[in-house]
Amino acid sequence: MKDYEMVIGLEVHCELQTATKIFCGCSTKFGGAPNTHVCEVCSGMPGTLPTLNKKVVEFAVKAGLALNCDITRKNKFDRKNYFYPDLPKAYQISQLYFPICRNGHVDVKTSEGMKSIGIHEIHMEEDAGKLVHDPVTGMTMVDFNRCGVPLLEIVSEPDFRSAEEVIAYLTKLRDTMQYLGVSDCKMQEGSMRADVNLSVRPVGQKEFGTRTEMKNIASFKAIERAIEYERDRQIDLIEEGGTVVQETRRWDDEKEYTYAMRSKENAQDYKYFPDPDLMPLEISEEYIENIRANLPEFADAKRERYVSQFGLPEYDAEIITGATTLVDVFETATEMTDQPKDVSNWIMTDLLKLCKDNHVAAEDMEFDGKKLGAIINLVNEGKVNRKTGRQVLEKCFTEDIDPAEYIEKNGLAQVSDTSAIEPVIKQVLDENPKPVSEFLAGSEKNFQFLVGQSMRALRGKADPQAVRTVLTKLLDEMR
The least CB distance from residue 416 to another protein, in Å, is: 53
The least CB distance from residue 57 to another protein, in Å, is: 7
25 touching another protein, by CB under 8 A: yes
Closer to another protein at the Cβ: 45 or 301? 45
Q: Which of 344, 334, 346 is nearest to 312 (CA)?
A: 344
53 touching another protein, by CB under 8 A: yes
- Which residues have a Cβ under 8 Å from the Cβ of 120 and sit 6 or more positions away? 102, 103, 155, 156, 157
The CA radius of gyration of the chain, in Å to the nearest whole number, is: 30
Q: How far does the chain reach from its first CA to its final CA, in angstroms?
A: 87
Contact 457, 420 (CB under 8 A): no
Cα angle 25, 27, 29; round to 5: 165
The least CB distance from residue 248 to another protein, in Å, is: 12
The least CB distance from residue 55 to another protein, in Å, is: 4
DSSP string covering 263-314 = -GGG------EE-TTS--EE--HHHHHHHHHTPPPPHHHHHHHHHHHH---H
4 touching another protein, by CB under 8 A: no
Q: Which of 12, 14, 26, 428 binds another protein (CB under 8 A)?
A: 26
The least CB distance from residue 188 to another protein, in Å, is: 22
Per-position x/- string for 245-264, each x denoting binding to another protein as judged by CB under 8 A, each - no binding: ----------------x---
The least CB distance from residue 144 to another protein, in Å, is: 7
Residues 103-142 contacting another protein, CB under 8 A: 131-134, 137-142
Closer to another protein at the Cβ: 17 or 454? 17
Closer to another protein at the Cβ: 34 or 382? 34
Q: Which of 1, 47, 83, 419 binds another protein (CB under 8 A)?
A: 83
**Using CA atoms, how far apart are residues 252 and 258, in angstroms rounded to an integer?**
6
33 touching another protein, by CB under 8 A: yes
The least CB distance from residue 328 to another protein, in Å, is: 23
Contact 151, 126 (CB under 8 A): yes
**Using CA atoms, how far apart are residues 364 and 347, in angstroms rounded to an integer?**
15
36 touching another protein, by CB under 8 A: yes
**Using CA atoms, how far apart are residues 467 and 425, in angstroms rounded to an integer?**
8
290 touching another protein, by CB under 8 A: no
431 touching another protein, by CB under 8 A: no
**Using CA atoms, how far apart are residues 300 and 305, in angstroms rounded to an integer?**
9
24 touching another protein, by CB under 8 A: yes
Q: In what order do the strands lie in the sheet with 113-126?
A: 70-71, 101-110, 113-126, 150-156, 4-15, 192-202, 212-217, 248-252, 257-262
**Using CA atoms, how far apart are residues 166 and 223, in angstroms rounded to an integer?**
9
144 touching another protein, by CB under 8 A: yes
Q: Which of 7, 27, 418, 474 binds another protein (CB under 8 A)?
A: 27
**Using CA atoms, how far apart are residues 335 and 324, in angstroms rounded to an integer?**
16
Q: Which of 107, 236, 282, 405 binds another protein (CB under 8 A)?
A: 282
451 touching another protein, by CB under 8 A: no
160 touching another protein, by CB under 8 A: no
Q: Is the dihedral of CA 393, 395, 397, 399 positive or negative?
A: negative
Residues that bind another protein (CB under 8 A): 18-20, 24-27, 33-40, 43, 45, 51-57, 74, 76, 81-85, 131-134, 137-144, 261, 266, 269, 271, 274, 276, 278-282
